[in-house]
Amino acid sequence: MIPFVDLKAQYRAIKPEVDAAIFSVLESCEFTLGSEVRAFEDEFAAYCQTAYGVGVNSGTSALHLALLAAGVGSGDEVITVPFTFIATVSAIAYAGAKPVFVDIDPRTFTMDVAAIEAAITPRTKAIVPVHLYGRPADMDPIVEIARRRGLVVIEDAAQAHGAEYRGRRAGSLGDMACFSFYPGKNLGAYGEGGIVVTDSPDFTRTVRMLRDWGSEKKYQHVLKGYNYRMEGIQGAVLRVKLRHLERWTDGRRVAAACYDDLLAGNGVVTPESTTLDRHVYHVYAVRTDRRQELQDALHAESIQTGVHYPIPVHLQPAFADLGYRTGCFPHAERAAHEVLSLPMFPELTAEQCAAVAGAVRRLARAA
Ligand SMILES: Cc1ncc(COP(=O)(O)O)c(C=O)c1O
């Protein structure tokens, strides 16, 4: 059996360090925020080439608070993409604003920068590009448009820990960036977690207050805040795992290169290669117009796959009130029909890659 992700293999490899980190929190009883979270915030911000980090309890909370800190509220519009996990869009709704979609570039699955200007209205406050699958969105034009039009840029970097755009780290490319530490992410907690990173002391102060009931001093509530604090155990585990992240990313990139080589010309479209940017392959998605057949064939050989994502957000019943219809965003809709995510994790071996590729090739030959 080849799993889609293998969290157990990763835990086995770092068990003594993780166990010691968890036990240290049991001893200190710093269960919520505390010194491990503070240290992790500094270490992860430095990793992202930013000045500040504010740890929270999920990537969704990170997005919600970044939007609030940017001043987004009722009556405002926020531009993002429909081909993303629903959390990107839900966070905009949490802030009381209206999500406005632009289509994706079908070659990269990230925001089509040529479509942004037409989506801007006097109500637009922010742009939320998504570094989908671990590939950075085309940030230079996005930031240029935002500066010219007075908009805030919030990166949804939930899938992009360690990704780089033109040599700069995801997280440092906009005004604020939000990461998720959901267990299956490239840097995953042992539970839920997220962070906002930024160079701005003002955004940092606001997000810090908002995550902890709007207070800087206990029982003095400056803002209407939330209970979005990061847990001490997650901070301690994430500090351990951050030390391994570069090695794990290299493992993902080696596995992706192996897939690229073995799959080229075999009935699927592999991710477009990029030498300018560093794709961290949270997801390795191929495209095929025979997705169900391919998924079934792989399943028959005990190879797990996933679909990220089968329904674009503009066609989800939950967001029917936005008034979009089939045909509004053809590239997102087509991607949703064609993408198939192959097994991808740092410990994926060359033999496992070859077995997956062999199954894909057999189906192509049988066509
Ligand atoms: C693109 C994207 N945005 C936001 C999130 C939300 O993160 P979380 O699950 O930690 O709330 C996720 C992950 O689940 C995601 O993939």
pLDDT at residue 18, as a whole number: 98
Residue 226: is the preceding peptide bond cis (ω within 30°)? no
The rounded Å distance from CA 159 to ligand 1 centre is: 7
Q: Where are the beta strands (DSSP E) in 85-143?
A: 98-101, 124-127
* Residues pairing with 121 in the sheet: none
Q: What does the block give as tokens for 163?
A: 């990704």
Q: Which helix (H) or strand (E) holds 195?
A: strand 194-198
Pocket residue to mutate for ligand 1, from 60, 81, 83, most atoms within 8 A of Cβ: 60
- pLDDT per residue of the chain (367 residues) written in tens, 0 to 9: 999 999 999 999 999 999 999 999 999 999 999 999 999 999 999 999 999 999 999 999 999 999 999 999 999 999 999 999 999 999 999 999 999 999 999 999 999 999 999 999 999 999 999 999 999 999 999 999 999 999 999 999 999 999 999 999 999 999 999 999 999 999 999 999 999 999 999 999 999 999 999 999 999 999 999 999 999 999 999 999 999 999 999 999 999 999 999 998 899 999 998 889 999 999 999 999 999 999 999 999 999 999 999 999 999 999 999 999 999 999 999 999 999 999 999 999 999 999 999 999 998 888 7
d(CA 88, CA 237): 25
Q: Which helix (H) or strand (E) holds 65?
A: helix 59-69
Q: Which residues contact 9 (CB under 8 A, 6 or more apart)?
A: 345, 347
Q: What is the dihedral of CA 318, 323, 327, 329, to 10 degrees?
A: -70
**DSSP state at residue 50:** -
Determine contact, residues 33/236, Cβ cutoff 8 Å: no
Does the CB atom of residue 101 touch ligand 1 within 6 A?
A: no
Q: What are phi and psi of 97, to 5 degrees?
A: -100, 170
Q: Which amino acid is at 304?
A: Q
- Burial pattern 317-350, b for ≥16 Cβ within 10 A else e, equals eebeebebeeebbebbbbbbebbbbbbbbbbbee
Does the CB atom of residue 158 touch ligand 1 within 6 A?
A: yes
Which of 20, 4, 8, 10 lies closest to 247 in space, CA to CA? 10
Q: Which atom of ligand 1 lies at the shortest distance from residue 61's CA?
A: 11
Radius of gyration, alpha carbons of the chain: 20
* Residues pairing with 78 in the sheet: 99, 126
307 conformational bin, left if phi > 0, alpha if psi -120 to 50, beta if neither = beta
The rounded Å distance from CA 64 to ligand 1 centre is: 11
Q: Which atom of ligand 1 lies at the shortest distance from residue 282's CA?
A: 16
d(CA 160, CA 138): 14
pLDDT at residue 366, as a whole number: 82
Q: Which residues contact 245 (CB under 8 A, 6 or more apart)?
A: 47, 161, 162, 186, 187
* Residues pairing with 168 in the sheet: 165
Q: Coil, helix or strand for 38?
A: helix
For the beta carbon of residue 275, count every other beta carbon within 10 angstroms.
5
pLDDT at residue 134, as a whole number: 98
Protein residue with its CA nearest to atom 7 in ligand 1: 59
pLDDT at residue 160, as a whole number: 98
pLDDT at residue 63, as a whole number: 99
Q: Which helix (H) or strand (E) holds 286?
A: strand 284-287
Determine contact, residues 284/262, Cβ cutoff 8 Å: no
Determine contact, residues 323/96, Cβ cutoff 8 Å: no
Does the CB atom of residue 130 touch ligand 1 within 6 A?
A: yes
Does the CB atom of residue 182 touch ligand 1 within 6 A?
A: yes
Which of 163, 107, 137 lies closest to 287 in space, CA to CA? 107
Q: Coil, helix or strand for 189?
A: coil
pLDDT at residue 274, as a whole number: 86
Q: What is the pTM of this model?
A: 0.98
Q: Coil, helix or strand for 52?
A: strand
Which of 204, 157, 160 lies closest to 41 in space, CA to CA? 204
